[in-house]
Amino acid sequence: MEIQTKKFPKNVVEITVELSVLEMAPFNGKALEELTKSVEIPGFRKGKAPIEMARPHINEAKLLEKTAEITINQKYPEIVQQENLDPAGPPDVSVQKLAPHNPFVFKITLPLVPTVTLGDYKKIKVKKKNIQVNPENVDNALKELQWARRKETISLQGAKTGDRIEVDLNLFINNVPIEGGSTKNFSLILGQDEHLLPGISKNFIGAHAGEEKQFSNQYPSDHYDKKLAGQMVNFKAKINNVYKVELPELNDEFAQNLDNFKTLDELKDKIKQNLENEEQRKQEQRLELEILKQLIEKSDFEEIPEVLLNHEVDKMINELKTSVEGAGQENGPKFDDYLQSIKKTEDNFKKEFIPQAEERIKTALAIRVIAQQENIIISDDEIKQEMDKLAQVYKGQEKLLEHFKTEDGKIYLKNLLTNQKVIEYLKNLSTN
């Protein structure tokens, strides 16, 4: 077997393979055996006639095609091993020469996993921050709990600060309707929603249900909605309902009615603990991102093949779809509707995702090499433990759980756990 290899940009290799007539003989014999199974000869069951009797009934072109198929399927893994290749995707195979009593020539075009030259990842350093919860955040969380347990009653009096109103709004600039500036039954807490519609509450003080109002409001130049920032906006509003809001008193009884806390202080301690846990989780994410960023900056990567890049972009699109559509409820949001609402196409996202996809691929490649160098291995027991955890998390979602039991599912879990171990290893190195 003669092999010629050429390297192309984007880390693609082209391999031309030639096998002599003598080397092809065993594959020709196997092809003949395979095709004989479909030949019908009088006096024999289908496929049971001797090869020499079936041979005249086998089309020469079909025999050549079958021989080529069997040859490529058997020789491809041998070639990959012999040439020490690391495929990044399936090969593209084309037959160059296939004729009776002639050498067989075929060409393999194969994307390769880029090689990585790691920088000194053991010198990566990141700093942990002391986690401190602002008492104001505890108070805000407590107020949210208080608001969630409010009592509302329809008010026949004029609206006042602290009341909640439901109002139809139409917004205009220079008498031209603002795109997206019309809403029905908008809920507004007078005096508390100034970040949404600055200065609007004062216009509804004293208003009653059924009343209509028109007024103008100057938006600040640094308002988060850029089309409104700095603009004089005209409002047309109809008040549908006015509700008096009564908040429960923040005391021990309030805490006891929540989750069997004994005292309000005990509830505050729990809120503080939850906020600290959330800050700790955010810090861990920040550390991981900083470590991986430094790892990529310190390392050198070969060019990434298009097939790898496209695969990662497609994965990111699917992640976005899942995020938009959630669990895929029958009446839930649809990805196409989301694209229309933001005036984008899937192709727009694919182009935007390319830089991030490159970073994700580089990160995965670097982690893979570190796992090899540091002999970080995932055992079958660890995979089983992870599957047991997932069985609790995805209880009732049998289809998903069955996927984790397949070979592909186990490979996914193995890669996931390997990534987690490598990142934990890097965090221990970089924060000590």
In the chain, where the domains are located: 2-112, 117-149+250-283, 151-246, 284-431
pLDDT score for 331: 59
* 146 HSE (CA, 13 A, CB side): 18
pLDDT the model gives residue 332: 61
pLDDT tops 60 at residue 426: yes
- C-alpha to C-alpha distance for 300 and 298, rounded to whole angstroms: 7
Query: Among 3-17, 101-115, 137-151, 220-234, whose mean pLDDT is lowest?
Result: 220-234
Tell me what percent of the residues of the chain surpass a pLDDT of 70: 97
Mean of the pLDDT values across residues 389-408? 84
Instruction: Say if domain 284-431 classifies as CATH 1.10.3120.10.
Output: yes
The 10s digit of each residue's pLDDT in 318-377 is: 888 888 876 555 556 788 888 888 888 888 989 999 999 999 999 999 999 999 999 999
Higher pLDDT, 193 or 388: 388
The phi, psi pair for 205, rounded to 5°, reads -60, 125
Dihedral sign for Cα atoms in the order 105, 109, 110, 116? positive
Structure tokens at 203: 């216009």
Section 234-247 average pLDDT:
94
Q: Which residues pair with 183 in a beta bridge?
A: 169
Q: Identify the CA nearest to 188 among candidates 198, 177, 173, 180.
A: 198
Provide the pLDDT for residue 99: 92
Given a cut of 80, whether residue 187 has pLDDT beyond it is: yes
381: Cβ contacts below 8 Å, ≥ 6 apart: none
Q: Please tell me the predicted confidence (pLDDT) of residue 292.
A: 94
In this structure, CATH architecture of domain 2-112 = 2-Layer Sandwich (3.30)
Handedness of CA 357, 14, 412, 126 (dihedral sign): negative
Query: What is the pLDDT at residue 194?
Result: 64
Euclidean distance between CA atoms 210 and 167, whole angstroms: 9
What is the pLDDT, as a whole number, of residue 329? Answer: 53
The predicted pLDDT at position 431 comes to 84
Query: How far is 346 from 80, CA to CA, in rounded Å?
Result: 36
pLDDT for position 395: 82
pLDDT of residue 394: 83
Within 10 Å of residue 86's Cβ, how many Cβ atoms?
A: 10
Mean predicted lDDT score pLDDT of the chain: 89
Name 87's bridge partners. Answer: 112
CATH topology of 2-112 equal to that of 284-431? no
Angstrom distance (rounded) from CA 205 to CA 199: 12
Secondary structure (3-state) at 206: coil
Q: What is the pLDDT of residue 326?
A: 67
Structure tokens at 274: 């939850």
Task: Please give the backbone phi and psi of residue 416, each rounded to the nearest 5 degrees, phi first.
Answer: -60, -45
Give percent helix, percent strand, percent coil of the chain, each to the nearest 5.
50, 20, 30
CB of 173 closer than 8 Å to CB of 233: yes
Q: 139 pLDDT band (50/70/90 cuts)?
A: very high
Asked whether the beta carbons of 101 and 20 are under 8 A apart, the reply is no
Residue type at position 398: E
**CA distances for 332 relative to 244, 323, 335, 336, 337, angstroms:** 33, 12, 10, 12, 11
CA–CA distances in Å: residue 129 to residues 126, 282, 283, 432? 10, 11, 8, 13
pLDDT for 56: 82
Give per-residue pLDDT as tens, 255-312: 998 877 899 999 999 999 999 999 999 999 999 999 999 999 999 999 999 999 999 9
Q: In this predicted model, what pLDDT tens digit does every residue of 45-73 receive, in sequence order?
A: 786 778 777 788 778 899 999 999 999 99
Task: Give the integer Cα–Cα distance in Å for 364 and 370.
Answer: 10
Mean pLDDT, range 77-98, rounded to an integer: 93
| 151-246 CATH fold | Chitinase A; domain 3 (3.10.50)
